[in-house]
Amino acid sequence: MSESQSPVRPKRQSLLLKWSWRELWQGQLWPVAVALTLIIACVFALASLVVRVEKIMINQGRSMIAADLVLRSANPVSDSLVSEAKRLGLTVTAQTRFGTMAFSDNAMQLVSVKSVSSDFPLRGELVLQGSNRTQQQVNPGELWLSERLFSLLNVKNGDQVAIGNAELTVAGTIVQEPELSFNPFSQMPAVLMHEADLAATEAIQPGSRVRYRAYFNGTEAQLKQLQESTVLAPDQRWISETTQGRTGEMIERVQQYLSLTLILVIMMATATLVLTCMHYTASRTETVAMMKSLGAGKAFLWRWLARQLGLLFAIAAAAGLVLGLFLEWLLRLPLTDVLPQPLPEMGAMPWLVSLLVAILVSVPGIGIALWRLLDAPALAVMQRQTADTSSKKRYLLILLPVVALLLWVGDNPMMWLTLAGLFVLMLLLAGLGLLLVAGLRRRQWGPAMTLALSRIGRSPLASGAQLAALTSSLMLLAVIWLLRTDLLADWQQTLPPDAPNVFALNISPAQHQAYLNVLDESGLMRSDSYPIVRGRLVTINGQDPRAEDTGNGSESDDRQEGDESLRRELNFTWRDSMPVHNTLVAGEWRNAPGGVSVETGVAERLGITLGDTLGFNVNSQVFSATVTSLREVEWRNMRPNFYFIFTPDVMADLPATWLVSFRVAAEQSELVNQLGREYPTVTLLDLRTMATRIQAILQQVSLSLSVLAFLGVCSGLLLVLTLLRLSLSQRQQEIKLYRTLGASRSRIRATIWSEYGLMAVLAGIIAVLGAEALVAALIKWGFELPVSWHPGLWLVLPLLSIVLILLIISTMMKQLLRPLGR
């Protein structure tokens, strides 16, 4: 009978399997299984939520541009581009937008006309309310008006309104449309008509200011292929959910935060796995040495470990995915009221990513330690080996996750900034901790603290690594939470709950004070009023910034020529004092004759500095002003903001209209219509729908980031707890030695409390320094936001560190002192 047919082999296999089970559950391998389970569960839950939140944010952003991708053009979109899009399988529709006068039998009004097809929009929701029904598309012969136009034109459903030469029937009210504009100066009351009626209006003539848009829906690959195959004209621009002003910036930063949180959680979970595996290796060195002394070869030992690892990974994968599903559901509970229904599908990505990440971190995290374990000599059964005699080739296993990280991170500067910052900070923090310990050792302390400092100083490398690991865990925990806090603070500051939601423009000087009186008597929160004159910037220090050759090089010329401030008329104003929602960053605000204050963004783009002389043109009148100050402006706060604010003497004699913004509560809706009737020449821009939708997105983002940050904090706490438990477990041999030398239980207890109490305080303080530095770098260069400091962190993090160590030591002290007598 051959060996393969021998009954001994199956019996041996059965014994190895039973041994593997016993080793897994009764030995020291179960903490590795728990760590791996938590890695899979955390990555699965976080990846699932990341996928859902990203899809929700993208869907929200695309619903606000009415398609997956939009092409904006000043000229008609070519038939060849539309044909190419259809060839690629994209759904296409178009819009023509222009301003013109609308005439009823009783009044007239300047309106913004949108000519669309019946399949508009491709994304988002168009709600049109007629006399007897609600519909979602525009049909030929219909004219749909924004609510204010009914009072401005004095019409009702069924009346005729002339748009150019076409007489169209008023079909009803535009209740909701997907496209939102964030520039109050460019808005007029909107009307919707069908593209089949456009030619009859004859409103578009040579020289007319018309804007064209083409809307595309399809897969990411199709959209990318269309963009790559299209050469844009100078007047054309692609618009996507990440380029659409306020929401685009918000979506982009949410995606950055989600990716950053995911990689930090993976790093902390990996550290937990490596620590537990190192502890397992240390506890099983004598077992492997004994097996080798009894004749076991490496092949047998590898099979023995392979069975354990196979069982470990299978159990961890099953438990991790089940736990991950439950955790993902649990994380969504706070978001139930704000997440759309049905939720976007998470797809296969979280399942694959969680298992792939587990494999990638397990190969070096477990493999290096086990390789070293199998290289332990048989002599180790009699004498503990301190030198590392195993092959250095095992460290090549690190290349597997490193290469995967390179492929994943790619050219993402935020990830590289984070990883590089973490590496440098870990070295600095470890060195700083040891320097502080060295300084403390020079002072006189009690016996317990002296012994604790001596123990830390005896092994500076191990103590430095331990302190760096504890500090880094607390620091990463703080980074995740602080980034979430700073992002939300920035978004909420740009659109606070009391932000203006209605703009009144074109207020004549004769109406100005009376209009403000009506607002004040109605108890409305309003901004200051601003005189408005439209004009152009024409020279900088006597040079035309749009000239092809300014002597600054072609790159500068191209940059300046492409700046939006040079391609259109701007809104100029003048004031005695700086707006309260602007920040002075250079120069000084003074009312010296001939002065102008410039917004920092346009100043940087055009190379404008203090003392420069700028030339302007208003209604063919040319004048100049000297730059006296630079202001920082938050364009997203829904308040009146300007590139240029002049001293009163420069423009006071020019004819101007006035602008004011105010906030209307839900119960004051009738007031907007009343203002429209009493002041028909004043243009009212009602942004309440837009503000409500942005607030809803902010609420979703706020809760989502809070949940993700909480998961990241839990991962950090798990790492800290694991680190402390393993560190204390390794102290048992030292404690026995202390007892042999005559130390009492109380002295040993005091020493342990002193050592870990000192480490807790040092780790907490140093972690605050590291977290503040890393968050400041990420906020400034990653998210491009103003840096702020967090005084509360200096109290919370050291206290958290102390509390964690108190909990761990309290639970383990009895076990540590169990072998000791009184």
| Confidence band, pLDDT 50/70/90 cuts, at residue 185 | very low
Question: 534 Cβ partners below 8 Å, 6+ apart?
Answer: 569, 570, 571, 572, 618
Q: Is pLDDT above 70 for 9? A: no
Is the pLDDT at 379 greater than 70, yes or no?
no
Of the two residues 702 and 802, the one the predictor is more confident about is 802
Domain boundaries, the chain: 1-64+246-410, 70-240, 412-497+687-822, 502-686
Neighbours of 686 (CB within 10 A): 20
Residues 496-538 pLDDT 10s: 667 787 888 888 888 889 989 988 888 888 888 899 888 888 8
Q: How far apart (Å, rounded) are the C-alpha atoms in residues 500 and 287?
A: 73
What is the average per-residue pLDDT within 111-125? 88
Give the whole-angstrom CA distance, residue 783 versus residue 776: 10
Helix (H) or strand (E) holding 30: helix 30-63
Question: Residue 347: pLDDT band by 50, 70, 90 thresholds?
Answer: confident
3-state SS, residue 145: strand
**Given phi > 0 = left and psi -120 to 50 = alpha, else beta, which region is 750?**
alpha
Q: Show the tokens assigned to 188.
A: 């007029």
Q: Any idea which residue has 């050592």 for tokens?
A: 755
Report the pLDDT averaged over residues 47-57. Answer: 75
Segment 267-291, tens digit of pLDDT: 776 777 777 777 777 667 767 777 7
Nearest-Å Rg of the Cα atoms of the chain is 35
The DSSP secondary-structure symbol of 778 reads I
φ, ψ for residue 575 (rounded to 5)?
Answer: -155, 155
Residue of 694 and 179 predicted with greater confidence: 179
pLDDT at 186 over 60: no
342/334 Cα distance (integer angstroms)? 16
Calculate the average pLDDT of the chain. Answer: 76
pLDDT at 443 over 80: no
Place of tokens 């069982």: 311
**Of the spans 219-228, 458-467, 492-501, which averages the highest pLDDT?**
219-228
Mean predicted confidence (pLDDT) in 228-240: 85
| Range from 263-277, 607-621, 719-733 carrying the lowest mean pLDDT | 719-733
- Mean pLDDT across 393-409: 73
CB distance 789 to 772 below 8 Å: yes
Higher pLDDT, 73 or 306: 73
**Phi-psi label, residue 576: left if phi above 0, alpha if psi -120 to 50, beta otherwise:** alpha
CA nearest neighbour of 144 among 134, 133, 130: 130
More confident site: 506 or 261:
506
The rounded distance, in Å, linking the Cα atoms of 388 and 372 is: 8
Identify the weakest region by mean pLDDT among 120-124, 253-257, 280-284, 804-808: 253-257
Amino acid at 218: G
**Is the pLDDT assigned to residue 562 strictly greater than 60?**
no
Cα distance between residue 466 and residue 456, in whole Å: 10
Identify the CA nearest to 311 among candidates 14, 24, 26, 39: 24
pTM over 0.75: no
Element (H, E) at 572: strand 570-574
Structure token pair of residue 604: 């940087």
pLDDT the model gives residue 556? 37
Q: 150 by DSSP, 3-state: which?
A: helix
Q: What sign results for the dihedral spanned by CA atoms 436, 438, 439, 443?
A: positive
507-529 in b/e form (b: 16+ CB < 10 A) is: beeebbeebbeebeeeebebbeb
Q: Report the pLDDT value the prediction gives residue 553, as an integer from 0 to 100.
A: 39
Q: How many helices (H) and strands (E) does the chain have?
A: 22, 22
pLDDT at residue 526 in the model: 86
The rounded distance, in Å, linking the Cα atoms of 606 and 570 is 15
Q: Reduced to 3 states, what is the DSSP secondary structure of residue 539?
A: strand
Question: Does the pLDDT of residue 251 top 60, yes or no?
Answer: no
∠ Cα 66 686 662 (to 5°): 135
Q: In this prediction, what percent of the chain has a pLDDT beyond 90?
A: 8
Could you tell me which of 559, 585, 577 has the C-alpha nearest to residue 786? 585
How far is the C-alpha of 572 from the C-alpha of 586, rounded, in Å?
20
Over range 702-729, report the average pLDDT.
64
HSE, CB side, 13 Å, CA atoms: give it for residue 418: 28
Cα 43 to the center of its chain, rounded Å: 18
Residue of 601 and 367 predicted with greater confidence: 601
Q: What does the pLDDT look like over 121-167, one tens digit per residue?
A: 888 888 898 888 888 889 998 999 988 788 778 888 888 999 888 88
